[in-house]
Structure 1
Amino acid sequence: MQITVEIGTREQQQEIINELGMLGEASKHYTMAFRIREIIVPKDFDAKVTELQKAGTYKSVPGMEPVSKAIFTPQGHVLLFHPNIYSAAYDNHIRFAIYWHEFSLLVNKGHFPVLTRHKLDRYANYFMNLYQLYDQYSAARKSFEFRDAVLREVLKEELSELAKQDLERSLLGSLAIIRNKAEYYDWFRFQIMEYRENQIINDFLGAVRGKIAQLSYSIIFAYATMDHYENLREKESLIAEAPMLNNNTRAFLEYFRYKYQEDAVDLSDGIDLMEAFWANFGIRFVDGEKCMECEVVDI
């Protein structure tokens, strides 16, 4: 596996290569559907993504640039890490978690089952989205565990203050989204009322789809963090009144905890939990006579 660093002095480049070498070593011990062909720290992240994806010009949002991106090629995956993560705002403790999160997502691709369907039906839709959320939950948990192991067994260090600040800032950001009732819960309720009047399902889905994804992932990231770092569990009090944290959501999260502890990859028994979780956002998918249909439910 090749490691290419396009930023910094020759000495800095070698330090980054040494740091990233752990992924090359780890890849030898994990079963992967497709190997990692190359790891690149590009000088221009957007230009490199555009070059590799060959699907139009890629432009990240200024101030919201991704820290990493995996791109599939016929020769294997290419892992890109944004040059910003080698600035003074980050240290190696923060980067260890970033590296292993991205690596875990690639490993999951080889472990999680692939559902073959001739059409998208209710089961397939919930199945795919259930795995997408669990993919992020498990990758986050594994990235924290990996970092702990490196610090404890290799570096003999405590988690840096910068990494602690980054961890808490990220958690508080997710919690702020979860408890933002006006932006999410009230928005869903408003869109449900709009749908009751016009009965145009595509308009409803277009209005809520992005917020469903954002809120779902915020819940997943927040609880993956608090499930690993018990000292941060007290932050859960900040979302005690969040309307989305009902019994459906808590059962869904408990299911993820159990599957993670069991190191399970079969989530076929979680379809109904996924359905109940998404009902919190006002949507339920059913099989119609010709295709899958979306029902709008009150919340």
Structure 2
Amino acid sequence: MRIKVGISSCLLGESVRFDGGHKHLRLCTDSLSRFFEFVAECPEVGIGMGIPRKPIRLVGDVDAPQAVAVHDYNLNYTEKLTAFGQQKAHEHSDLCGYIFMKNSPSCGLFRVKVYQENGYPAAETGRGLYADALKKAHPLMPMEESGRLNDPLLRENFITRVFAYYDWKQLVRGGLTHHKLINFHSRYKYSLMAHSPKHYAELGRMLADAGKHEIEALAEGYFTELMTVLSKIASRKTHTNVLMHLQGYLKKKLSSAEKQELADIINRYRTAELPLIVPITLLKHHFNNHPNAYIVRQAYLQPYPDALSLRNAI
């Protein structure tokens, strides 16, 4: 089963842009589509604007901009775009992520220009109205922009969060219990540690007396913190810390030569000589030869399918 992820239609190569063109993002069609079931929307076409059409821009207050036609400010699409976003946020409650078109006054998630009366954009930037409506409706859902996905670290982080979000929805769908929540946290222990050791410890303390709290309230607080922690970019330092923790489970299983090789590989990753996939692959090899029931459950070693090759570039 592929995971449902929303996307701006133009990124799939659909010719829906104001000029009749598209912004085909091959990462999505050539790679991610093997694992994501994309749900495409073009909000501007969705509210009845034609192809081609007059371009629009954001104007006025950065915190509450208006979407108007570039050459005719009397053509105001603010209410329609916002309402369309709210409608789609309700319809697509089963999405586990969203990829938006960058810089768009309807779909841009970050740094969208908001023009002022003098004709120049404000120093501060805004967010596209459709994207803003979805973000407000689903604040914890992983969301990213087309341009930022060219960055290997941001791409890996986004996809990690999509799969974690999907895992959580599956957990909730199966019925929440304190036991299931503790097991979920146990499986994500090293993933959380890689993103923020401090917040990993705080989540552990949150669950230390889990049985004393109502499961719904506890789960809501936990999920909020989970997605907040995973949104932080894991560094070589924090990854190295996790790799060394995992190495510790093998200290009585490996020969002296194998232990030295593993330590050297982890250190070469730490100093940026090797990508993360190298120590991960070696660790998985050793754990295949020396199975550990606790480690085999860790999401950190397999946060998404290997075929995505995301750790080859970080």
Q: Same fold (TM over 0.5)?
A: no
- Whose Rg is larger? 2
**Structure 1 length as normaliser, TM-score?**
0.32
TM-score, length basis structure 2 = 0.31
